[in-house]
Amino acid sequence: MIFSVEEGSFGYRHGARVLDAISFTVEPGQVLAVLGPNGSGKTTLLKCMMGLLNWNRGLSLIDGTPLSRIHYREVWQKIAYVPQAKNSVFSFTAEDMVVMGRSAHIGAFRQPGAADYGHARRAMETVGIYHLREKLCSEMSGGELQMVLIARALAAQPSMLVLDEPESNLDFRNQLVILETIEALARNQHISCVFNTHYPSHALKIASHALLLTREGGSRFGPAWKIINEENMRRAFEVNVHINEVRIEEKSYMSVLALSAAGKT
């Protein structure tokens, strides 16, 4: 599946335009990182691109067809959304939560069957949380719950995952687990992934492409290593950075070191 946005613009009523003429394309197996300062519209972009908010101008397309011409159930069979993990107030088990990802396939007034539970089990196995299947979501750590939400999305058998700050509020190890899971899904299952993040280093670690948003509503899109550079980071975030490449055991790693707020020494 090829997903694209063409000239997408959005602004809230009586407010300034948040997103202005945004265009990008995500092909199978690609990982797109969305970056930008607070207030640049990262979460709003995710909602607009999936049709949860309507573009004021422009459109989202799946394989060249506008989302508005595709039945919503078919859209949600192709695209799965992973929201930010919040402590659950509902006492669902992990298995119950994951099988909810089958809702776009089950339809209204139907209960999940054996096949749906089979898809849920395989999704949990894929992300390595099958051992949590009977644990209550209300008793999980943030990292565990985030993996459950990813498994729930995978249970829909999507072509693309959209993840809202999947590694935020997690400890060092769980951040890496989430990033490695996204990377593995793209590489091994050719599922395209779009995620927004506050961490340029995370984008450089796993993303093939990056979309950099500005507070003025503009954007830059292209290969991650081209978009995430010292000048673009300074302009977008008003932060002076140094980007360093380190080679360890024949593998290259990129790091973004924040030096100072722009204009300061």
What is the per-residue burial (b if ≥16 Cβ within 10 Å, else e) of 193-222? Answer: bbbbbebbebbbbbbbbbbbbbbebebbbe
Q: Looking at residue 12, what is its pLDDT?
A: 85
- Domains in the chain with CATH codes: 3-223 (3.40.50.300), 229-265 (no CATH)
Interval 72-81: pLDDT, tens = 889 999 999 9
CB 254 within 8 A of CB 262: no
Mean pLDDT over each residue of the chain, to the nearest integer = 91
pLDDT of 37 over the 70 cut: yes
Q: pLDDT exceeding 70 applies to what percent of the chain?
A: 96
109: which residues sit within 8 A by CB, 6+ positions away? none
Is the pLDDT confidence value at 209 over 50?
yes
Residue 189: how many CA atoms within 13 Å on its side-chain side?
Answer: 17
Question: Tens digit of pLDDT for each residue in 178-208?
Answer: 999 999 999 999 999 999 999 999 999 999 9
Contact 158, 80 (CB under 8 A): yes
Q: Which residues pair with 247 in a beta bridge?
A: 252
Residue 265 above 50 pLDDT?
Answer: no
